[in-house]
Each structure stands twice: as structure tokens, then as C-alpha cells.
């Protein structure tokens, strides 16, 4: 089975054993290196871990906005191919994670912007992780208009960010993860909003596009969740803030006495929910 990325979704998490299986390898050890170049393909696959195990070489690899800073292998075995990737029509694909022994997030095809070849230490590379075939993303958009953006109040900023992200990777990933409203099961996607659990302003760039950091909610629940007037317990049960009166609940026609709860419990989602309960929810 040839290596292909057609079944993968940008922003989704993947484990090496799963990738090895769909790519036809007998075991994940075949793709256990940081740089994988499948035979008879035009692919260069980078598996990058920011915080590595202590026993491994401590390469200084990290994401900064829409740039990946990456140190090549100590033996420099892949330097030349990475540098010549564009002229050779090779594609470089990125799988990235913040810490070892966690799933990788797939970032899709990336493009080399700068490099510095070294002989006595790993060479240094800078890649753009922005998809060149996609319209400018939210990070570039905000950077371009940063003067105007800074002049807005927080509500307006959040509204702009949310609407822009809703058109991109984050919403796509959340829709694929949940399928319908995370609470009610409402299935008309045009009526649903992809809401960050850990707020966008508090999240790293990786967390901002992580579908596990999202709920798919009907508009009223989405608004209450963003305002911190509702949250969810470790078991997924809805918790209603005392800041909202029973009269308002009745007017919103939300029958919380029916024990609304999340339809599914995802471990990483509930890690984000801990943050929401502690820092966003208004008890």
C-alpha cells in the first residue's frame, strides 16, 4: 500500500501505529525516526516533538506562529533532500506534538523558507506551515491588520477571530469529531457553532486548531459557554452558573433539568474543560 495523505485531515491527531498500518508498514518502528522518506515516493515526512525524552538528542524544534523552527539530523543525512525539495518536486509533510508519548497533530504540507547548513552541529531550518493553496489564515490576517485589531474591544476581537476560524481548520476538525451538537445532537451544521473550550486568546497556536479543544454547539449553548455561564463536569454533565437566573433560563427555553450532558467524553477534551471550569466559568 503506497504512502498517501488523502485519508488524513489537517489538524487531527494521529499515532504512529495507525499511520504505519494505513501506509502498509509491518510495524511503526519503520517510521519511528524524526525524518521518514518512504521509498519510491516524493515525500519527506517530519515527525517533530518539542519536548523530547531525556535520553534522546535534544534538538531545538518548536512552532512559532505559522513557522516551524527545526534542527536537522546530527548526521546531516537528510539536509540536501530537504533543501532541494521544491526544485525536486518533493513534498514535506509535518506531524508535530508538544510532548513525547502523545499523539501527533498533522499539519499537512509545509514549505522551506530559510536554512543554515552547519557541519559540527545540526543544520537549522525554518518552514512555513501555512497551506499555500489556502486563503490567508487567521494568524496572518490579524498580523496584517494588527493596528486596527488592537483598537477593538475584547468582545469585537473574539467575534472576528471566531468567525474567521469558523471558516477554517478548527471548525472542520470539530465538525468531523462531533458530527452534530455536542449536547443536543442537532445535526444541521449550518445551525451549529464550533466553540473553543480553552479560549482562543489563552491558547497556543496548536491548541487553537486542535479539534479536541472544541465543542459543536447550537447558538444559545455556544453563547452561554463562551460567557462562562455554563460548563461541563468531569463526567460531561452540564453545570449552570448562579449568575444566570431561573427566569432567564426559562425565557431561553433551555430545560437544564433534563440533565443536559456531553454526548461523548474525550480524554483530551476534558483536559481542556478543566481549564474552562477554572478560568472561564462564573460559578
Residue 3 lies in a domain: no
- b (16+ CB within 10 A) / e for 32-60: eebbbbbeeeebbbbbbbeeeeeeeeebe
pLDDT reading at 159 higher than 70: no
Q: What is the mean pLDDT of residues 104-123?
A: 90
Put residue 54 in one of left, alpha, beta given phi > 0 → left and psi -120 to 50 → alpha.
alpha
Q: Report the share of the chain in percent with pLDDT over 70.
A: 83
177 and 256 belong to one structural domain = yes
161 and 270 belong to one structural domain = yes
Residue 257 lies in a domain: yes
pLDDT digits (tens, 9 = 90+) for 41-72: 999 999 999 888 777 778 888 887 778 999 98
- The CATH number given to whatever domain includes residue 64 is 2.30.280.10
Chosen domain end from 102, 128, 154: 128
Residue 260 lies in a domain: yes
pLDDT of the residue at 167: 46
| pTM of the predicted model as reported, rounded to 2 decimal places | 0.50
Look over the chain and give the mean of its residue pLDDT values, rounded to a whole number: 84
190 and 113 belong to one structural domain = no
pLDDT digits (tens, 9 = 90+) for 5-53: 988 888 888 999 999 999 988 888 888 888 999 988 999 999 999 888 7
33 and 158 belong to one structural domain = no
98 and 76 belong to one structural domain = yes
98 and 170 belong to one structural domain = no
pLDDT digits (tens, 9 = 90+) for 243-283: 988 888 777 766 654 568 999 999 999 999 999 999 999 98
Range of 222's domain?
A: 138-280
148 and 124 belong to one structural domain = no
Chosen domain end from 128, 154, 170: 128
> Per-residue confidence at 146, pLDDT binned at 50, 70, 90?
low
Q: For the beta carbon of residue 237, count every other beta carbon within 10 angstroms.
A: 12
pLDDT digits (tens, 9 = 90+) for 166-190: 446 788 889 889 999 999 898 888 7
Domain count, the chain: 2
Amino acid at each position: 500500500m503506497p504512502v498517501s495523505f488523502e485519508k488524513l485531515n489537517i489538524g487531527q491527531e494521529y499515532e504512529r501505529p495507525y499511520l504505519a498500518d494505513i501506509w502498509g508498514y509491518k510495524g511503526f518502528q519503520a517510521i519511528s525516526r524524526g525524518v521518514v522518506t518512504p521509498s519510491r515516493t516524493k515525500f519527506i515526512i517530519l515527525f517533530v516533538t518539542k519536548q523530547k525524552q531525556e535520553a534522546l538528542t535534544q534538538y531545538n524544534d518548536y512552532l512559532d506562529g505559522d513557522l516551524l523552527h527545526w534542527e536537522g539530523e546530527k548526521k546531516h543525512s537528510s539536509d540536501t533532500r530537504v533543501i532541494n525539495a521544491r526544485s525536486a518536486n518533493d513534498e514535506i509533510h509535518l506531524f508535530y506534538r508538544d510532548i513525547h508519548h502523545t499523539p501527533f497533530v498533522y499539519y499537512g504540507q509545509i514549505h522551506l523558507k530559510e536554512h543554515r547548513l552547519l557541519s559540527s552541529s545540526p543544520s537549522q531550518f525554518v518552514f512555513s506551515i501555512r497551506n499555500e493553496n489556502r486563503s490567508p489564515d487567521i494568524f496572518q490576517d490579524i498580523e496584517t491588520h494588527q493596528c486596527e485589531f488592537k483598537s477593538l474591544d475584547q468582545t469585537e476581537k473574539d467575534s472576528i477571530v471566531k468567525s474567521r476560524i469558523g471558516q477554517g481548520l478548527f471548525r472542520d476538525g470539530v465538525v468531523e469529531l462531533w458530527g452534530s451538537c455536542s449536547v443536543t445532537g442537532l445535526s444541521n451544521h449550518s445551525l451549529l457553532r464550533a466553540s473553543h473550550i480553552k479560549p482562543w486568546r489563552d491558547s497556543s497556536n496548536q491548541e487553537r486548531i486542535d479539534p479536541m479543544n472544541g465543542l459543536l454547539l447550537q447558538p444559545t449553548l455556544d453563547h452561554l459557554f463562551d460567557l462562562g455561564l455554563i460548563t461541563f463536569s468531569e463526567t460531561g454533565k452540564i453545570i449552570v452558573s448562579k449568575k444566570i437566573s431561573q427566569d432567564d433560563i426559562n425565557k431561553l427555553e433551555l430545560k437544564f433539568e433534563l440533565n443536559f450532558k456531553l454526548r461523548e467524553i474525550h480524554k483530551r477534551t476534558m483536559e481542556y474543560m478543566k481549564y474552562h471550569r477554572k478560568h472561564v466559568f462564573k460559578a
